[in-house]
Chain A
């Protein structure tokens, strides 16, 4: 039998001991915890540099400690939430994923990584990496709290890819399997909207009602309230339009040539007054000036946080000093921002839609000349093509999903669409003119069916109506530039 030499035995013993020596020593663990807590204290005091340095030191001195993944997660979150530098967060999250996949923090890290990837995506096909991260959270962490949120975002990704059935599965699982979690109201709202997109209006309404009962204090419950109200009013009750007269009640000649209207996501009405070259927010009965001066504004655009204007000089952001030129477009007839951040612009003299990406690049999309354009909650837009006398409901790729000839299901056809407006639930209001129908309004459902309609003659409206908006109570606001007032139809 071969007997190893003493030197060999010593070397072997040292080699065997190496993994043990490499383990975190108790004093290291204690130091790691102190460093982590110290970083937390500094962060709470908003001494960010000190906090980041301390956590960085932790990662250097005790990389095997349980506090290392916690520190990495805090560093990544800081980059995203405070510094607003998602690119800087990605390498941190990559490290968390590759070196600490077994830690509980990895679930949240993967979720955050998925969210950043989803935010970077500019089209549905680019969501795959984000979806992979969400799926990892679900596959690898069966007890993680992040699962609910992962399901929610996975559902949104499926919905953005047009996979409504899969989206619904994820939304329902997000609230069914995570009762009491903060994600529940969001998931219920998404599920309700998806049910509507799938054609299940009663299911959608019941889900919205359930949301209001289960999470009455949530912002989603507020959303559910108006979304339910407008669906019931326009699609189920469908009462004939009735002219309620000047709105707010009794206010006449109180504006300076209003030309454009738009309802902001919070339900307030935005009014562009041509004589003042500015947009105003009507909150209750208070009219407050918003954003910079933008002479000749043709279009108002809703964004997730504010609003933009398209004027003669280009795109004017609420918080920007100068306008951003929009190329050769000289007769902008409508614009909308999709969920990818792309700006769709229609020009009354161009037989195409221009799409401006967030990085400034532009592309054109074949389309009939659009005289008006409004966004749809599916991610596409609806355009009015007077030349073809058709309304076209386009999907996110610009492909027409529904085509509605002017005058379909109406007593008489019209010839022109002066303006389009949409609400967040897929209903589209058109300000129409010409033909045997004449001047009036037509409200279309998400499938293009006529829900409600009326001529101005029948309503007794005599002014010059240039724009319209669908409010959150099921009413229609008309903008009368001749009489300097607003009119509400109910």
Chain B
């Protein structure tokens, strides 16, 4: 007998080895110890180990492991029965076996007749034998609503038992049995077919199945030996395919079957009406999904960006022609200061090229303590404000973190450029909430909102979304709108424009061959033009190149949020070069002047050098430097004088923009006042 078990050991090893090698090893060793060495103690210890490990997770055991556990109980009962000291424990083992699986049949070759009789008696005291007949086979049996293995002989506990048998494509059947001691009952199920079923396999698994556009689920897992016949013809192994996915009730008529999986080309199959009627079980050819990829390139003028696709890092920028599975992604580039995010869809065999410009990150630190009506609604509006912000990336508060803690964390980690805090104003009844938007450097704006308003954050959202430009395309020509003229009238123009044929004192009646009525219309055409514009005047035509004209940001504007403007400019500066970088520095200084941080503004202005001399240019920089020194007080008078004198060297320099007021008369007056 021992030899027989010794021979069966290799087969058992093969079956169990792939799952939990150590435990299976223990189980096989236990059997071998008894079969080859007669070591009862050693075998018992190892079987006990197996039982201890498996009973702790008995509810989630797979059928093979349930079988191992049952066998272990069987073995332990046999081994205990061989020792007079341990014999009483054999009955406990059998009881545990019955609790686990009353359908388990003791190995009669291994177990003594006495133990078998004891086991049958114990079973008869709690269970009734039910003889099952299920037609057609392959269905699913439920006993009292719980899945059960379909066996011809099944032992069920005494009492009223509800049995249900069902199979895809068939009408389910139910019956109720009253079970008592010393009885043998029969249960016969004969199902009636109602519809066709479709069974399909996919390669690989994890493929979403849709029928007529409705998602049915995913083909998951691996196919078992039942798929061997199908895979053999394709030169595949069963485990290469997913577990069978069954479409249970195929309604009469034609259908459209769709299979989707990330990184694979979507497959669509039209199912003919003959599959649905007459009702039958159909197994389709396995679906082999073809890979689908595109190429993604992301670069940025800003240094240090790291690319993430739907949360997965794809390395530092630049990323060039990286093969990426086609499909939708949440693209995120994290920069040392700021972030860039975009929802993208990569198409098969196509290249997507992106230039990432970081956005300042706004971290909401939370709504401080203080109860008021509408708090939950208001908090929700604050937490979802990010959905309404285009130029900012929004960071929601961390659960359970106090605003002060969050601020300290952000200051240390520099994970955000802007912070938003909300504080209920403690009046007798809270009707107002103070919102504070601040940079980590301390420039802040406060505004008071009424949380019960329809959209209390509307104004803040609009201001946060407003980003003033620091440049705009232009022609360098001054135009006027005159009622007596058919189009914009040329007041002045630089030398190159005159050489190109533009006439001063004449109106422009068409641009690019299309008529033109006003300067605003001209500005719109300039915005959409590429490199140059062709202007027509009476008796003259001129093609003028477009050039970027420097602008100052508006100051004191209620439609701008200046901490956000500062954060935007700081990020823009990180990715800018040459005159553009210097122009951003000038505007950063202006924004700092808005916060009366004249010393910091001077720091910026001091090393700002613009190569231009017309419009917003070096003279503008020098004039603002002089103003900052003036604001710092009498001790900096000589520096102010020097700056204003410097500004006078640029007679064409202006404030605000190319058509703004000249700096020179203002600098002259400032010098006069300083005398």
Contacts and interface: CB of A to CB of B under 8 A. Distances in A.
Interface of A: 30, 142, 148, 165-166, 168-169, 172, 176-181, 191, 195, 198, 200, 202-203, 205-207, 209-210, 212-213, 225, 228-229, 232-233, 236-237, 473-474
A232 B482 contact: yes
Given A168-B665, A225-B483, A209 B555 contact: no
Contacts of B659: 206, 209-210
B669 A169 contact: yes
Nearest to B552: A176
Which has the most chain A C-beta neighbours within 10 Å: B480, B655, B659, B662?
B480
A483 to B, nearest CB: 28
A140 to B, nearest CB: 14
B661 A142 contact: no
A450 B479 CA distance: 26
A179 B672 CA distance: 27
Interface residues of B, number: 35
B666 A168 contact: yes
B660 interface: yes
A212 B481 contact: yes
B556 A172 contact: no
Contact of B520 (A148, A213, A236, A474): A213
Given A169-B670, A207-B661, A202 B484 contact: no
A228 B492 contact: no
A209 B519 contact: yes
Interface in B375-391: none
Contact of B556 (A177, A228, A229): A177
A176 B670 contact: no
Contacts of B555: 176-179
Contacts of A213: 519-520
- Please classify the interface of chain B as helix (H, G, I), strand (E, B), loop, or mixed, using the class held by over half of its residues: loop
Given A169-B670, A202-B491, A474-B484, A236 B556 contact: no
- Please report whether the interface of chain A is mostly helix, strand, loop or mixed according to DSSP: helix
In the A-B complex, the 9 residue pairs with the closest CB atoms = A179-B554, A165-B669, A179-B557, A178-B556, A180-B557, A177-B556, A206-B659, A177-B555, A209-B480
Interface string B484-495: 100001011000
Contact of B428 (A30, A142, A176, A181): A30
B668 interface: yes
Given A165-B665, A172-B661, 19 more contacts: A142-B596, A165-B669, A165-B672, A168-B661, A177-B556, A179-B554, A181-B556, A181-B558, A200-B662, A202-B491, A203-B661, A205-B480, A206-B659, A209-B481, A213-B520, A225-B483, A229-B482, A232-B480, A232-B489
B673 interface: yes
A165 B668 contact: yes
Contacts of A168: 661, 665-666, 669
Contact of A206 (B428, B491, B666): B491
Nearest to B655: A176
Contact of A169 (B478, B481, B666): B666
Interface string B650-666: 00000110011110011
Contact of B492 (A142, A195, A202, A473): A202
Interface string B506-531: 00000000000001100000000000
A20 B218 CA distance: 75
A228 B485 CA distance: 12
B554 A180 contact: yes
Contacts of B491: 202, 205-206
26 contacts: A30-B428, A148-B556, A165-B666, A165-B669, A165-B672, A166-B673, A168-B665, A168-B669, A169-B670, A172-B661, A176-B656, A178-B555, A179-B555, A180-B557, A191-B661, A195-B661, A205-B480, A206-B491, A209-B659, A213-B520, A225-B483, A229-B483, A229-B484, A236-B505, A237-B505, A474-B484
A100 B410 CA distance: 41
A212 B481 CA distance: 9
A236 B505 CA distance: 8
Given A180-B557, A209-B519, A228 B662 contact: no
A181 B520 CA distance: 22
Contacts of A206: 478, 480, 491, 659
A233 B482 CA distance: 10
A172 B489 CA distance: 25
A180 B662 contact: no
B559 interface: yes
Contacts of A225: 483
A40 to B, nearest CB: 17
A179 B468 CA distance: 12
Interface string B245-270: 00000000000000000000000000
Contacts of B672: 165
A213 B657 CA distance: 14
Interface string B191-230: 0000000000000000000000000000000000000000
Interface string B58-79: 0000000000000000000000
A213 B523 CA distance: 11
A172 B667 CA distance: 12
A172 B484 CA distance: 29
Nearest to B558: A180
Interface string B633-664: 00000000000000000000001100111100
A227 to B, nearest CB: 12
Nearest to B480: A209
Interface in B533-559: 554-559
Interface string B423-457: 00000100000000000000000000000000000
B614 to A, nearest CB: 13
A194 to B, nearest CB: 10
Given A142-B596, A179-B557, A202-B492, A473 B661 contact: no
A407 to B, nearest CB: 28
A206 B479 CA distance: 8
B519 A203 contact: no
Contacts of A212: 481
Contacts of A202: 478, 491-492
Given A179-B557, A180-B559, A203-B661, A473 B673 contact: no
Contacts of A176: 555, 655-656
A358 B556 CA distance: 39
B621 to A, nearest CB: 16
B556 A179 contact: yes
A234 to B, nearest CB: 12
Interface in B459-483: 478-483
A200 B663 CA distance: 13
B386 to A, nearest CB: 26
B665 A198 contact: yes
A180 B670 CA distance: 26
A233 B484 contact: yes
Contacts of A148: 556
A228 B665 contact: no
B599 to A, nearest CB: 16
Contacts of B662: 200, 203
A225 B519 CA distance: 14
B554 A172 contact: no
B623 to A, nearest CB: 11
Contacts of B557: 179-180
B478 A228 contact: no
